Amino acid sequence: MRRSGSTRRVGRTFRTVAAGVACGAALAALAALTAVPAQAHGPQSRAPHWEAKDSGTPEVRFRGLSAVSRNTVWLAGTGGTVLRTGDGGASWRNVSPPGAAELQFRDIEAFDGRRAVVLAIGEGEASRVYRTDDGGATWTESFRNTDARAFYDCMTFFDRRHGLAMSDPVDGRFRILSTSDGGRSWKVLPSAGMPAAQEGEAGFAASGQCLVSFGPKDVWLATGGAARARVLHSRDRGLTWTAADSPIPAGDPARGVFALAFRDRTHGLAVGGDYRPEQASPQAAARTGDGGAGWQPAALPVQAYRSGVAWLPHSRSAALAVGPTGTDLTTDGGRTWRTVDTGSYDTVDCTPDLGCWAAGEKGRVARLES
């Protein structure tokens, strides 16, 4: 889930102490990351960094990532692949749904180490949703798109029961799918409260972050491909929406807002750009302080196209953005960004117990370490 999750009470003292030590180390790493100047992040520095975890799947590109904790993470990617770890990435279990090898998983939302919902993208019946309640040992297909005009991109959950998925426009409006039973069943919401889409407007299934939520009812949808890149906001779980222009350039099918992150109902970040490697991505980051009603460009934006973004745990000003050419850090709420790593990642997620994870092409997955 894009976090509003609950924490479990640990009964045994030794487990509580161990968790505290791990969180303390992670907190020190995050504090160091925000304090070390950009020039200190060189090959010889001891600054916090992405530490690779061998997924054993170099043929897979992971654009779906759901970090439950520092130790428990789910990945979803090409070839219908779903992986899960419960030991911080030391080992991974392939828990892919049977018969899904032709599917492209682009988003996964996990509630814990046993329950997760995964989204496959594509035209018509290629767009599907699966749910597991036993750590991926078995899966149930809970939705298969039968409308050839629909193409589902992302999903999000407000809590363990209520969630949404979004499709590119059908009949001139973005289509919203809703669940109230944790992804076991889905229904298409009425489109009357959805603003008309622009010509060519769509979402980007690049990181599972084109649809994000915070709290029990607020949800935001990122767009691109049209004359203006927009962010749509709903305060009632997708029944009615308002649209706001972003300063991130669009005007081309490859440009727009690719990912959103909100640390509360009002403060959010948007990143994107032009995903084509040969194209520049100027002004590819923006921020809002009013729930997405208005967006301001970053004074010093991310250095290149970025497809994923996440607030650092328990921080009001620090966040990470990732893309194929590197990772950028902001420590002032998205006003300025600086590159802190040059590795290729597509998506990023952070957890309340101070775990930050990233994943991407060639089976790449990493956790932020000191």
pLDDT in tens, the chain (370 residues): 544 333 222 232 223 333 343 444 555 555 566 664 544 444 444 567 999 999 999 999 999 999 999 999 999 999 999 999 999 999 999 999 999 999 999 999 999 999 999 999 999 999 999 999 999 999 999 999 999 999 999 999 999 999 999 999 999 999 999 999 999 999 999 999 999 999 999 999 999 999 999 999 999 999 999 999 999 999 999 999 999 999 999 999 999 999 999 999 999 999 999 999 999 999 999 999 999 999 999 999 999 999 999 999 999 999 999 999 999 999 999 999 999 999 999 999 999 999 999 999 999 999 999 7
Asked if 75 contacts 57 with a C-beta cutoff of 8 angstroms, the reply is no
Kindly provide the b/e burial profile for residues 114-123, where b requires at least 16 CB atoms within 10 angstroms of the residue's own CB.
Answer: bbbbbbbbbe
pLDDT on residue 48: 76
Tokens encoding 239: 């029944």
Gap between the Cα atoms of 228 and 205, Å rounded: 18
Q: Phi first, then psi: what are they for 39, rounded to 5°?
A: -70, -15
Q: Which of 125, 127, 118 is nearest to 153 (CA)?
A: 127
Q: Which of 249, 250, 187, 261 is nearest to 219 (CA)?
A: 261
- Distances from the Cα of 80 to the Cα of 23, 148, 176, angstroms: 33, 21, 23
Give strand pairing partners of 260: 270
Tokens encoding 16: 């509580």
pLDDT on residue 3: 41
pLDDT on residue 370: 78
Tokens encoding 208: 């599972």
Gap between the Cα atoms of 98 and 226, Å rounded: 37
Helix H or strand E encompassing 18: helix 13-35
In the block, which residue shows the tokens 């409308």? 147
pLDDT on residue 182: 98
The predicted model scores a pTM of 0.90
pLDDT on residue 4: 39
Gap between the Cα atoms of 270 and 248, Å rounded: 8
- Residue 237: strand, helix, or coil: coil
Name 163's Cβ contacts closer than 8 Å, sequence gap at least 6.
Answer: 109, 117, 155, 156, 157, 178, 179, 182, 183
Handedness of CA 218, 186, 211, 326 (dihedral sign): positive
- Residue 39: strand, helix, or coil: helix
